[in-house]
A and B are shown apart, each in its own frame.
Chain A
């Protein structure tokens, strides 16, 4: 569904990504793990069009269409939604308005079915429909950010650190929901520092180190890999 070939990205003179190539197939959950500063978020931001690769021979294709160089909102229209790092809900808008904004790319008003789908995954949002998003707890804001992305009916959902700053109980809950969303038919690309949980729910994973992919494979293989266990699983 999504392929990246030889992506280089630089911030000024600093190279953040060196020749990243990866693939996400339809129906999968793919995890991107690695330490701080490895380039995980940069990879996601490049996919959704917020950053541009610096080399000419790079290719990003989504649903067999070259999306490199397209504007971010066009990419969202094609069915690729990005839940940015740090949640980034619209704080002065209600939960309902936040969800409504998620459906912005679709012409006309979103139907009740779209809202029901989000409430099905996140029942807690329904209880707080009129509350201002800025007053929600961290976990609820993460749910809202994901629900907002779902309103665009994406085929591929990319999630940047959904567990960041959340209590362990909530992290488990969020990861269960991610699995549910995937079962309901949305492909997922996930960036996560909590490698343990990420490998648990994903089919395949890539390990990123200082801007390069150093390891890739089935999630259960990586979870038993000596190096990974040492570096990322703390054993």
Chain B
């Protein structure tokens, strides 16, 4: 069974059937659920896509970034300009948003890669502010007034399908040679270069892929709200995404999924509390971090979790794993 799962053809078939199933399933959900709940689901998916990107940068590679909202805004504006000004199809716009954000991820990656920890965090924060101010002063983005008239093309099935694609890509990446190198950089950067890992290359790769995810998320966001303004992508947004991955468990894909669901749904579920809503929300964060300091799913690897759940024969694990 394990051998079978390692065959790439089987993997591709599994991936495609999973994708089909998601599209079909989410279409059914789309038809029977109320628009209010559907919108929450939509934002869960969008936040999940962006959080998975940040998880690669911060959780897996260990590079603390406080500027994820900047990549999101780049994706949002780029896709909006593509679909509104250039009349490109929606999905092409999403792709363009992702690619341009990815490009900026690489650009920001180079100069900041000499920095680590807190210093990198401050540098990314500064980058995010520059981007926000830039969008406020640009003509094509309509400045502080905001970009109007974007078509609401994002649907629940589209978001879910892209989210599942992102999850699959991240799981695959995490278990690849590149993913292991990124993990090693988080563990110990000096030791990584001592074993021959090109630390610069993998850090830029993580930034590029993470920014791409944020850009796609931003594009989907723009085509959900149909109106975007620079203040949508402030520091608070970066912190929101960071909270998702910290609460879920840094570096854990299942954790990121649960984090996105909990933190996106919580403000809505707590709505009956009216004025006390955000207090309880903050309390929830504190309590979770006290009882689960490594996050809800800290240290859980999706493949291992699935394997354990399906009770694969344990005989082979004595010698070499995988």
Please give the residue numbers on chain A whose beta carbons come within 8 Å of chain B beta carbons, in ascending order.
Answer: 48, 50, 71-73, 76-77, 81-84, 88-94, 96-97, 100-102, 104-105, 112, 115, 129-130, 145, 148-149, 152
Contact = CB atoms under 8 A, between A and B. Distances in A.
B320 A112 contact: yes
B268 interface: no
Given A84-B190, A90-B187, A104 B177 contact: yes
| Interface residue tally on B, bucketed by range | 20 to 34
Contact of A102 (B183, B195, B198): B195
B196 interface: yes
Instruction: Report whether over half of chain A's contact residues are helix, strand or loop; otherwise say mixed.
Output: mixed
B285 interface: no
Contact of A71 (B180, B181, B198, B321): B198
A221 to B, nearest CB: 32
Interface in B180-214: 180-181, 183-184, 187-188, 190-199
B interface secondary structure, majority: helix
A148 B183 contact: no
Nearest to B177: A104
A3 B193 CA distance: 22
Top 6 A-B residue pairs of the complex, sorted by shortest distance between their CB atoms: A76-B196, A105-B196, A90-B187, A88-B191, A72-B193, A73-B198
A72 B196 contact: yes
Interface string B288-322: 00000000000100000000000000000101110
A73 B199 CA distance: 8
Interface string B255-293: 000000000000000000000000000000000000000
Contacts of B180: 97, 100-101, 104
Given A97-B180, A112-B320, A73 B187 contact: no
Given A101-B195, A105-B196, 6 more contacts: A50-B190, A90-B188, A101-B192, A104-B180, A104-B196, A149-B195
A165 B320 CA distance: 31
Contacts of B320: 96, 112, 115
Contacts of A84: 190-191, 194
B194 A104 contact: no
Given A84-B191, A104-B177, A130-B321, A93 B196 contact: no
A92 B177 contact: no
14 contacts: A50-B194, A73-B198, A81-B196, A83-B194, A88-B190, A88-B191, A89-B191, A92-B187, A93-B187, A94-B321, A101-B180, A102-B195, A104-B180, A145-B191
B191 to A, nearest CB: 4
Contacts of B190: 50, 84, 88
A101 B184 CA distance: 8
A67 B94 CA distance: 45
A20 B202 CA distance: 34
Nearest to A80: B196
A83 B299 CA distance: 27
B55 to A, nearest CB: 16
Contacts of A129: 319
A81 B197 CA distance: 12
Given A50-B190, A73-B196, A104 B181 contact: yes
